[in-house]
């Protein structure tokens, strides 16, 4: 029977649950009872390992992290060619050529563009070559067609030639043995073109992290369905997170559970683990939820500066898949993802975890501060400074208007208008 057709009374109680366990080495809280955001993020990153690399076709590898160094095993160009139509010669045979002392060489062969270089060039002979034609072995220069006077099967030269004149050397762009792409590089379309150009059809790379966004809330309805009660509203957080994850190269699966009962969430979570390298569980934090996660693996819980409410993280199931709990509201969930979730996805993908890009700017109006906790305030950044967006409970509409976040440190007095504040840019 599908999970979402079950009634709550049909879901069996947990049987012989193991003793709850907690992750070890959690960072200490400060005197305010809050962990620092940096310590919390570093602690969670220590719990997650990069995925195992495997061979991936070039067309599926864009945005992935390379797990090998790509070294060319061919020359580019693959052969030495003429850059003009003319006569392939040995420069040593034209030493001293002048109008008073012309040098005459027999023309013994002709090579077209795309043809073969034929036999080696014998001393004191010339070969007529088209532009782009391969030079025969022994030739080290090409005299332009108007640089010699053809008479029957001979050509007369009145000037000397220089080594590699009008010649494009094999390996002049890429030589056999050249290192083209270093391990750890992110595979861009241009990088993949370089790899294809030297004949590779696949690379050893980190796979795309598989991220499940699982929403559990009975008051949230999927867009397109009717709202039946005043307490219901449309759920936007999963769309926001899934679109962000896909834009960053993850493989995303979205699920919804119309209940906050820990037993229901636990069953849905177990069904999703088979396809998850990371689960973003969007729901309200309760003691029952924390106990359920602890019974399925190991859990960490604590108050973290700049993040609202109690933060939950767990490693569950036989494969110890990481589960990060995010609030149902779009703005705090998105900000928590950027600060904590995105680094976890980057670690899984074998990339160096990054933090938002910071800058300083004057705030256009007075901004209140919290005496204990860092505040994150949506804002619009312009040449005049940063303007906080109004509203005590911002949603997706305010987030769409924002292009920056103001970081307001704990303080007992507000930040005055035109005072400088630290900010970070939204993507």
pTM above 0.75, yes or no: yes
Rounded to an integer, what distance in angstroms lies between the CA atom of residue 223 and that of residue 353? Answer: 33
- Confidence at residue 146, expressed as pLDDT on a 0 to 100 scale: 94
- Confidence at residue 20, expressed as pLDDT on a 0 to 100 scale: 52
CATH code, 358-425: 2.40.340.10
> 14: pLDDT confidence band, cut at 50, 70 and 90?
very low
Question: Tell me: the pLDDT tens digits for 52-79?
Answer: 999 999 999 998 999 999 999 999 999 9
Q: Are 181 and 220 in contact (CB under 8 A)?
A: no
Class of domain 3-51+208-348: alpha beta
Question: Tell me: the pLDDT tens digits for 255-289?
Answer: 998 899 999 999 999 999 999 999 999 999 999 99
**Interval 41-57 mean pLDDT:** 94
Q: Is residue 8 scored above 70 in pLDDT?
A: no
Q: Are 205 and 186 in contact (CB under 8 A)?
A: no
From the list 228, 230, 250, the residue with the least C-alpha distance to 241 is 250
Q: Where are the domains of the chain?
A: 3-51+208-348, 56-76+176-205, 81-168, 358-425
Give, in order, the Cα–Cα distances in Å from 57 to each of 50, 187, 196, 200.
Answer: 20, 12, 10, 9
Question: What's domain 81-168's superfamily in CATH?
Answer: Molybdopterin biosynthesis moea protein, domain 3. (2.170.190.11)
Of 392 and 321, the one with more pLDDT: 321
Rounded to an integer, what distance in angstroms lies between the CA atom of residue 409 and that of residue 421? Answer: 9
From the list 236, 327, 239, the residue with the least C-alpha distance to 285 is 327
CATH code, 56-76+176-205: 3.90.105.10
Run of H or E including 301 = strand 297-303
Question: Tell me: the pLDDT tens digits for 175-196?
Answer: 999 999 999 899 999 999 999 9
Output the DSSP codes for 21-38: EE-S-PPPP-TTS-B-HH
Does a cis peptide bond (omega within 30 degrees of 0) precede residue 77? yes
- Confidence at residue 370, expressed as pLDDT on a 0 to 100 scale: 92
- Confidence at residue 1, expressed as pLDDT on a 0 to 100 scale: 32
């Amino acid at each position: 029977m599908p999970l979402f057709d079950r009634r709550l009374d049909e879901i069996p109680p947990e049987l012989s649950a193991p003793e709850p366990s907690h992750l070890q080495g959690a960072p200490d809280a400060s005197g305010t009872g809050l962990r620092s955001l940096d310590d919390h993020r570093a602690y969670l990153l220590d719990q997650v390992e990069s995925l195992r690399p495997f061979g991936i076709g070039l067309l599926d590898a864009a945005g992935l992290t390379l797990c090998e160094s790509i070294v060319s095993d061919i020359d580019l160009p693959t052969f030495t060619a003429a850059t003009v139509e003319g006569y392939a010669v040995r420069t040593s045979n034209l030493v001293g050529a002048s109008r008073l002392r012309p040098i005459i060489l027999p023309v013994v062969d002709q090579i077209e563009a795309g043809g073969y270089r034929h036999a080696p060039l014998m001393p004191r002979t010339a070969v007529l070559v088209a532009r782009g034609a391969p030079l025969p072995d022994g030739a080290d220069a090409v005299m332009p067609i108007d640089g010699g006077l053809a008479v029957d099967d001979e050509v007369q030269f009145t000037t000397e030639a220089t080594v590699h004149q009008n010649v494009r050397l094999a390996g002049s762009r890429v030589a056999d043995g050249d290192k083209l792409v270093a391990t750890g590089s992110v595979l861009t379309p241009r990088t993949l073109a370089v790899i294809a150009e030297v004949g590779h059809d696949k690379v050893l790379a980190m796979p795309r992290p598989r991220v499940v966004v699982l929403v559990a809330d009975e008051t949230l309805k999927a867009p397109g369905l009717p709202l039946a009660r005043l307490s219901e509203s449309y759920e936007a957080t999963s769309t926001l997170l899934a679109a962000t994850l896909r834009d960053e190269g993850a493989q995303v699966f979205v699920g919804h559970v119309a209940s906050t009962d820990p037993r229901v969430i636990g069953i849905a979570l177990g069904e999703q683990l088979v396809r998850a390298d990371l689960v973003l569980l969007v729901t309200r934090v309760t003691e029952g939820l924390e106990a359920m996660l602890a019974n399925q693996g190991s859990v960490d819980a604590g108050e973290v500066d700049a993040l609202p409410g109690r933060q939950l993280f767990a490693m569950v199931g036989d494969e110890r898949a990481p589960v990060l709990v995010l609030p149902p509201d779009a703005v705090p969930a998105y900000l928590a993802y950027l600060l904590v979730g995105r680094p976890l996805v980057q670690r899984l993908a074998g990339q160096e975890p990054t933090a938002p890009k910071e800058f300083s700017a004057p705030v256009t109006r007075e901004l209140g501060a919290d005496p204990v906790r860092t505040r994150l305030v949506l804002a619009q950044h312009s040449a005049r400074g940063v303007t906080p967006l109004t509203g005590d409970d911002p949603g997706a509409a305010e987030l769409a208007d924002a292009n920056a976040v103001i970081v307001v440190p704990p303080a007992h007095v507000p930040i005055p208008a035109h005072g400088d504040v630290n900010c970070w840019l939204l993507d």
